[in-house]
Structure 1
Amino acid sequence: MQPLTRRQLLTATVAGAALHAAHAQTQTHGPTAFPFYSGEQALQGLYRQHLPPLARAFDAQAQALLAAARLHCNNPSARPVLREAWRQALLAWAALSTPALGPVVERRSQRQIDFWPARPALLEKALNRAPQSLADMDRIGTPAKGFPALEHLLAGPPTPAHGPYLVLIAEGIAAEAAALRSRFDARAAQDWAQDETAARSAFAEWINQWLGGLERLRWMQMEQPVQKARTASQRHKPAFARLAAADNQAEWRAQWHALRTQARLTPEQAAQPPQPDRELIPIEALLMGKGHIALAQRWAQALDAADTAMNRLPAQARDTDLMALSKTLKGVTTLYQTEVAAALDVPLGFSDADGD
């Protein structure tokens, strides 16, 4: 997926009503009164409370991945340790990068460390060049780096050249994780109320990129591989992002959890509305605060239906299972496109992840 460009985001900055209403309007959600939340308050919860811990978690898992790669380089029998470290780092990355926001967009991190599918021919060419440093790796094509390349090498038989190259891949992931942590820490200190233009752009980015993250999951990672396999001249297995079914499902669930967290009130928040600058204010709370009670309830129901469908996905999921799940997720997409974004006063810009 290519995240929304700055030009696309700037076209969405007419979302002023969601950002600058200063009245103390309250609405009811059953017995609970919900306050009106400004866009600045939503951004404070997102960038001060929610995303920095995810960036720190990814940084920690990336460092663990690098340590495991160095251990494996000296002791190839430690491959299972490296494999598990890869999986944990991948899940931490999925939690931070879904949806892609702020520094992830600015640094084009998805392309740098998670360009998929891996290209075996390019990977072999890169191994033959025997890079010795991250500077050398900068001249290696992105399909030969990052999570997919590391996974591809771990799936094949080990060779002496693989150990050092795996370390370099892990060093690249760790470097990106450290840079993202630094950027998110800096973003946490930003006072959104002091920069109207930046606040409008960031709020529009969040609302647009949430949809982009959902469609990246639903369309690019689930439905599109199945559709391509069905229409291929010679029937073959769908080419999902990860090689193992269990890893695909674990990542899908991590992405969905990240999206759902930003979209749905927790039971505790339903009873006690989230407090600005103390916790994440999810999309459902924004709808409630703006008086869209019925829409918020339908939004919650659509999210819960998708959550149930995701949790019920069989371990050995068939194509029909995935298409059914995609259809349920599409219901969330449709409601978001037709009603939710408009209720938040944010026009949706085109993203390559839309799948249309």
Structure 2
Amino acid sequence: MHPQHQHELKHGLLRGLICIVLAGVLLLVINLAAAAKPVDRSTLLFPYYDASEVLNSTVTHHYAKDTAALLAQLEQLGNSTAKYCQGDLPIDALKTQYSKTYLVWLELSAVVMGPMLQNNTVRQIDFRPLRVNLLERAIKKQPQGAEAMALVGSPAKGFPAIEYLLGQPGFKAASPQCNYAQEVVRDMTRTVADLNWQPAKPNSEEDADSLKADMQLYFNQLVGATHNLAWERMEKPLLKSRDDTAKGGAPDWPYAELGLTENAWKAQWQGIADLLVVSSQTVPNADQQVVPLEAYLRGLGKIGLADTLLVHSNAVTAAVKANDVSKPASVEQSVKASKALKGFLETEVAKGLNVSIQFSSSDGD
């Protein structure tokens, strides 16, 4: 072949290859844009959901699922703690596993229902503030086993105890602190394993009044969880950090030593959002997915309420995602968005569902 023809052929092949690559990139961009585009609810036909379907879907596809995930993480935390206490794992690896476990717990416990409410699980394994004097007393006693740990008060064990010990210089392999930490993880694992999530049986003898009461409790817990995120988790630390800074001190954000502050807020919000809005591209099937509040409202024909709920929820999602403790204004925006959502839930949605707002277990002072 003539050299000039070879040169032209090479250039032609190169141009063709470039066109193919550019076309592939363009297709990828289009697909990503389509995936990121919010679901057009007007194209989806939502069925009427019975209240029992809503509640049972949360039990099976949210609470039971997240509980299993937490148990798996606690098992890993137990293994990691044992290895660290034997001198076979660096402290940073243990901190990483603790962080993973705690974030799963925050998502599960964001909206407290069912056996978590009945067993007072949050108090048992995440009592705050930690009582350091009681913790030190428990370490000296070196309790072993379920019966001995049952005698240790909640303020001296659970996640806060592990979190505290991870930052102490005396927390070393083969130390009394290490032995106690292993018992604490075992105690938490037993507590979570006791969460027996059972959906109500179809066609049970549960009367309409009882079902209405269950739905009202669920709704109030959702409202209370939103309040807890806005006030207890974000606004109170924000105000305290501002006071500390004004006095010349360093801001003190929750979980800052583990670098978990923003991720903790995200995890807690995710646990709420999963129960509020539709996250898939399809209409939820109660036998396979959570039926969130938005879907329930659409099934009732309350489209305006559902649309506004989606707007408020998306605003919280965007704000929480942008949280940065080095920029307090970002946290303030999350507080405002969460409060707006809570206000909408306890007024407009409560009125639309004909439920009354009552004190919930998630309410704070």
Fold agreement, TM-score > 0.5: yes
- State the distance in 2 between where 1:30 and 1:237 align: 49
1:116 CA displacement: 1.4
Instruction: Determine the structure 2 residue equivalent to 1:169.
Output: 184
Q: Is the 8 A contact 2:112 2:361 kept in 1?
A: no
Cα 1:32–1:95 shift into 2, 3 Å: same
Superposed CA deviations along residues 171-219 of structure 1, whole A, max 9, x for unmatched, are 1111112112xx01xx136437531255333322211111121222111
1:290 corresponds to which of 285, 297, 300: 300
AA aligned to 1:268 is Q
Superposed CA deviations along residues 275-310 of structure 1, whole A, max 9, x for unmatched, are 232321110111112222112111101111111111
- State the distance in 2 between where 1:110 and 1:226 align: 23
Superposition RMSD in Å: 2.4
Instruction: Determine the structure 1 residue equivalent to 2:272.
Output: 259
Q: Which runs of 5+ in 2 are unaligned?
A: 1-39
- State the distance in 2 between where 1:96 and 1:258 align: 6
1:64 corresponds to which of 61, 76, 91: 76
**Higher Cα Rg, which structure:** 2
The correspondence of residues 301-312 of structure 1 with structure 2, limited to 5 A, is 301-312=311-322
Q: Secondary structure at 2:323's aligned position in 1?
A: coil
The correspondence of residues 305-320 of structure 1 with structure 2, limited to 5 A, is 305-314=315-324, 316-320=325-329
Instruction: Determine the structure 2 residue equivalent to 1:351.
Output: 360
- State the distance in 1 between where 2:347 and 2:203 align: 28
Give the count of matched residue pairs.
Answer: 321
1:117 CA displacement: 2.2
Instruction: Determine the structure 1 residue equivalent to 2:330.
Output: 321
Cα 1:312–1:266 shift into 2, 3 Å: same
Give the TM-score taking structure 1 as reference length. Answer: 0.83
AA aligned to 1:284 is E
- State the distance in 2 between where 1:340 and 1:108 align: 28
Q: Which runs of 5+ in 1 are unaligned?
A: 1-27
Cα 1:326–1:257 shift into 2, 3 Å: same
1:93 corresponds to which of 105, 119, 140: 105
Q: Is the 8 A contact 1:40 1:199 kept in 2?
A: yes
Instruction: Please state if 1:244 is matched with 2:257.
Output: yes
Q: Is the 8 A contact 1:229 1:235 kept in 2?
A: no
Cα 1:70–1:346 shift into 2, 3 Å: same
AA aligned to 2:318 is T
Superposed CA deviations along residues 66-117 of structure 1, whole A, max 9, x for unmatched, are 1111112211643223212211111121121110110110110000000112
1:348 CA displacement: 1.5
- State the distance in 2 between where 1:154 and 1:76 align: 16
1:260 CA displacement: 0.8
Identity %: 27
Instruction: Please state if 1:32 is matched with 2:32.
Output: no
Q: Is the 8 A contact 1:116 1:241 kept in 2?
A: no
Instruction: Determine the structure 2 residue equivalent to 1:208.
Output: 220
- State the distance in 1 between where 2:187 and 2:97 align: 15
Q: Is the 8 A contact 1:221 1:240 kept in 2?
A: no
AA aligned to 1:301 is V
AA aligned to 1:265 is V
Q: Is the 8 A contact 1:43 1:192 kept in 2?
A: no
AA aligned to 2:112 is A
Q: Secondary structure at 1:170's aligned position in 2?
A: helix
Q: Secondary structure at 2:81's aligned position in 1?
A: helix
Superposed CA deviations along residues 292-343 of structure 1, whole A, max 9, x for unmatched, are 21121111011111111111112x4343332221111111011011111221
Q: Secondary structure at 1:35's aligned position in 2?
A: coil
1:279 corresponds to which of 283, 289, 300: 289
Cα 1:177–1:319 shift into 2, 3 Å: same
Q: Is the 8 A contact 1:193 1:199 kept in 2?
A: no
1:62 CA displacement: 1.0
Instruction: Determine the structure 2 residue equivalent to 1:49.
Output: 61
Q: Is the 8 A contact 1:192 1:199 kept in 2?
A: no
Instruction: Determine the structure 2 residue equivalent to 1:194.
Output: 205
Instruction: Determine the structure 1 residue equivalent to 2:309.
Output: 299
Q: Is the 8 A contact 1:62 1:177 kept in 2?
A: no
AA aligned to 1:51 is Y
2:152 corresponds to which of 115, 136, 140: 140
Q: Secondary structure at 1:279's aligned position in 2?
A: coil
Give the TM-score taking structure 2 as reference length. Answer: 0.81
Q: Secondary structure at 1:140's aligned position in 2?
A: coil
Superposed CA deviations along residues 25-57 of structure 1, whole A, max 9, x for unmatched, are xxx952333222110111121112332111111
Q: Secondary structure at 1:118's aligned position in 2?
A: coil
Cα 1:140–1:155 shift into 2, 3 Å: same
Q: Is the 8 A contact 2:221 2:362 kept in 1?
A: no
| Greater relative contact order, per chain length (Cα 8 Å cut-off, separation 6+) | 1
Instruction: Determine the structure 2 residue equivalent to 1:21.
Output: none
- State the distance in 1 between where 2:271 and 2:297 align: 19
